[in-house]
Chains A and B, each alone.
Chain A
Amino acid sequence: MIDLFKDLVNWASGPTVLFTIATLGLLAAFRFTQVWSKTSAKVFFAVLAVFYTASMWDPDFFLIVAKPDNIPITGVIFLVFFFTWFAMHQGIRNDRRSEGGTEVLEKEEAEKVWVWPDLVYTEMLAMVLLSIVLLVWSILLAAPLEQPANPADSPNPSKAPWYFLGLQEMLVYFDPWLAGVVFPTLIIVGLMAIPYIDTNPKGNGYFTFKERKAEIVIFLFGFLILWCLLVVSGTFLRGPNWNFFGPYEYWDVHRVEPLLNVNVSDFFWVKLLGRPLPTGGFFAALMREWLGILMVGAYLFVLPVVMSWPKERFPTGLKWLSCHHYFEKMGATRYYIGVSLFLMMMSLPIKMYLRWAFNLKYIVAFPEIFFNI
């Protein structure tokens, strides 16, 4: 019975299943907003705590999760869940209030109060509590120190610091120039651009969900799924050779996973036409990759234009693609920057599913000049 449960959890933690479950779960929670209630939070955290505690008896789970440097990851799991719930809970409470004709809670308490004592005491208390937490944590748990640095002996797995493991996970799906350079830059630039792209004047200075649905769904998908989930799975579920291991699996260094990834050019020339890839020179390389170049170009440069069309120009079934109202509201510049950043963000899940479904490695592959997408 326990073994069956462990097998089930191991299976559900696999990149494909976990990512899909988490994404669908998040979308469902946005659709059925009653799940952000106090009761479901209590049930959720009880289940999570029981799962965590009970799993500590499994030696493989304990080995990874109880590593001193992995404690913050457990912190991330509980804190991020709690504060996401807390923010959504307050947002939905405010939405109910405004539907019922009352003002949002933050507007109700508009009177000014003295910062001493109302704020400084809170800050004082936070400082004292945090000091206690840090002191107890530091007394109980010694900071780890591994063997002296040895440039000749690389550990397996070699992992970046935990907060960069989302980027390291991206290396599975993208080359380092994208995963390690272009995407981090775009994340920083994209975050800084948010206030200039988002022209929705509502929801400024109070929690709400209803008035800012699109913004919140996109941001939380990026933060929770594409960042936090990848950090957590990169720490707990990626073992030697960056292979996937379930939470109850032993990290076997010798496990071999066959990688039979193929490029779009292979699909087109070899599988479809039954010919060898064109070789010899610049133009042969362009011809080899023409389909991939067309796909990437269409995704980045044609799709944003198409999405700006009004609904009437789309055939039935594709009308959801139309972002015409955003184009109208935001103006061309904001719209194109916003949609481009969004499409870049979505290229990660798209590439993930292409890999899982078709073993796709590169859409465009010019290994000659390290230009692979």
Chain B
Amino acid sequence: MLNRILAPLSAAWKEATDSQVWTSIFRHGKPVSNRNRALVMMSNVFLHLHPVKSRKAGIKLRYTWCMGGITFFLFLVLTFTGLLLMFYYRPTVEYAYADIVDLQEHVPLGIMRELHRWGAHAMVITVWLHMLRVFMTGSYKPPREFNWGIGVVLLVLTLLLSFTGYLLPWDQLAIWAIAVGSNMARATPLLGTEGPLSASLTLGDISLINAGNDARFALLGARSVGQPTLLRFYVLHCVGLPLAAAFLMAVHFWRVRKDGGISGPM
């Protein structure tokens, strides 16, 4: 009985995988022979991030926790959901909040904002855990010193991505969190109005550093969190920082391979 259902199915499957369309996409057989296992890694642009073979201990879940991979996957989820959110969101003081309300009320099956928000929280945590793993296995040691540094910059970019995204809903939580966070910039030595030694930067008796040109102003684009800040954070959040992160991720992954793959005892 079961065979009568399965037999035509497997015949159809064979038909499909033998077709010209299928063989034009996948240029080799199933990865069941060693030759094809090597070919699948080398002929697929996404899989070729990986080597063909790897040390058994290195790819164990108990060793890597898959934390770097999970972080990368979350970045992809956030890029995709963020793109969908951009269809509905206008970064102006006038519309931003209303667009979020619209998104909640009128978009059917809308969980893109949820996926984006919870995914972002999760990504901050997985970056920390990935760094914890890399530290605890001593994987920053030679020859991987430089890649650890790239990783630290990626940590900073992750936090900045989350920080800039925090403002976009334009609710009370958003603007006051950014206000608290950016107030610190006022205290930058030399470059903030309330920073040490800034008052010593003068031309005659004109003070060079004031609330209209200090480090905080550069961050906010204004003297307080307002329209210029929203636009600035939006552009950084949707374009600038993701591009920088993607660029550094490419370097990070490349260097994992070039520095000898997943770390292991010498």
Where the two chains meet, the residues of A that have a C-beta atom closer than 8 Å to any C-beta of B are 69, 71-72, 75-76, 79-80, 83-84, 86-88, 90-91, 103-120, 122-123, 126-127, 130-131, 134-135, 137-139, 141-151, 153-155, 158-161, 163-164, 167-168, 175-177, 179-182, 188, 191-192, 194-196, 198, 200-208, 212, 216, 219, 223, 366, 369-371
Task: Tally inter-chain residue pairs, CB-CB below 8 A.
Answer: 279
- What is the CB-to-nearest-CB distance from B201 to chain A, in angstroms, rounded to a whole number? 11
Q: Return B211 CB to nearest CB of chain A, in Å.
A: 14
Question: What are 7 A-B pairs at a CB distance below 8 A?
Answer: A87-B136, A138-B111, A142-B114, A151-B225, A160-B177, A180-B185, A206-B264
Whether the Cβ atoms of A87 and B133 lie closer than 8 Å is: yes
Chain B residues 200-248 with CB under 8 Å of chain A are 200, 224-226
A223–B134 CA distance with the chains assembled, in angstroms:
13
Task: For the complex, give the distance between the alpha carbons of A68 and B93 in Å.
Answer: 25
- Min CB–CB distance B213 → chain A (angstroms): 17
B62 touches A90 (CB 8 A): yes
- Report whether B149 and A205 are in contact in the complex, using a CB–CB cutoff of 8 Å: no
CA A204 – CA B135 in complex, angstroms?
A: 10
> Interface residue count for B (Cβ, 8 Å)?
102
Check A139 against B111 for contact (C-beta < 8 Å): yes
Q: Find residues 70-120 in chain B having any chain A CB closer than 8 Å to their own CB.
A: 70, 73-74, 77, 93, 97, 100-101, 104, 111, 113-119
The residues of B that contact A195 with a CB separation of less than 8 Å are 140-142, 144-145, 148-149
Known interface pairs A110-B56, A112-B56, A130-B70. Does A219 touch B162 (Cβ–Cβ under 8 Å)?
Answer: no
The secondary structure that dominates the B interface is: helix
> Main SS of the interface on chain A?
helix
Q: Which of B59, B192, B197, B226 contacts A115 (CB 8 A)?
A: B59
Contact of A116 with B37 in the complex, beta carbons under 8 Å: yes
Cβ of A137: which chain B residues have Cβ within 8 Å of it? Answer: 114, 118
Which residues of the partner chain A approach B69 to less than 8 Å between Cβ atoms? Answer: 123, 126
Q: How far is the CA of A371 from the CA of B199 in the complex (A)?
A: 11
User: Looking at A146, A148, A158, which has the most chain B CB atoms within 10 Å of its CB?
Assistant: A148
Measured between beta carbons, the chain B residues less than 8 angstroms from A104 are 265
Tell me which of A139, A143, A201, A205 has the highest count of chain B C-beta atoms within 10 A of its own C-beta. Answer: A205
A286–chain B nearest beta-carbon distance, Å = 15
A205 B132 Cβ-Cβ under 8 A: no
> Do residues B104 and A142 form an inter-chain contact, with CB atoms below 8 A?
yes
User: Is A206 touching B137 in the complex (CB atoms < 8 A)?
Assistant: yes
Contacts of B122 in A (CB 8 A): 72, 75, 134
In the assembly, what is the distance between CA of A18 and CA of B178, in Å? 29
Report whether A192 and B152 are in contact in the complex, using a CB–CB cutoff of 8 Å: yes
B residues touching A (Cβ–Cβ < 8 Å)? 31, 34, 37, 40-41, 47, 50-63, 65-66, 69-70, 73-74, 77, 93, 97, 100-101, 104, 111, 113-119, 121-122, 124-125, 128-129, 132-133, 135-142, 144-145, 148-149, 152-153, 155-156, 159, 162-163, 166, 169-177, 179-181, 183-189, 192, 194-200, 224-226, 263-266
Min Cβ gap B13→A in Å is 19
Q: Name the B residues within 8 Å of A116 (CB-CB).
A: 31, 37, 40-41, 47
Centre residue among A75, A143, A196 by max chain B CB count within 10 A: A143
Query: Are A155 and B171 within 8 A (Cβ)?
Result: no
Q: In the complex, are the beta carbons of A175 and B187 less than 8 A apart?
A: yes
Give the complex CA separation of A114 and B187 in angstroms.
54
Q: Which residues on the A side are within 8 Å of B59 (C-beta)?
A: 113, 115, 118-119, 122
Using Cβ atoms and an 8 Å threshold, which residues of chain A touch B225?
A: 149, 151
User: Are A109 and B181 in touch, CB under 8 angstroms?
Assistant: no
Contact A122-B61, Cβ < 8 Å, known A143-B118, A148-B171, A151-B225 = yes
CA distance A153 to B172 in the complex (A): 8
Residue of A83, A113, A159 near B56 (CB, 8 A) is A113
Question: How near does chain B come to A365, taking the closest CB pair, in angstroms?
Answer: 12
Chain A residues whose CB sits within 8 angstroms of the CB of B199 once the complex forms: 369-370
Question: Which of A109, A145, A180, A371 has a CB less than 8 Å from the CB of B197?
Answer: A371
B57 contacts which chain A residues (CB < 8 A)?
Answer: 105-110
A200-B70 Cα distance, complex, nearest whole Å: 30
Which of A154, A176, A219: most chain B Cβ within 10 A?
Answer: A176
Chain A residues within an 8 Å CB radius of B196: 177, 366, 369-371
Q: Within the assembled complex, what's the spacing in Å between the Cα atoms of A212 and B192?
A: 41
Residues in A whose Cβ lies below 8 Å from that of B192: 177, 181
Q: Is the CB of B148 within 8 A of A112?
A: no
Chain A residues with CB under 8 Å of B65's CB are 83, 86
Of chain A, the residue at the smallest CB distance from B109 is A139
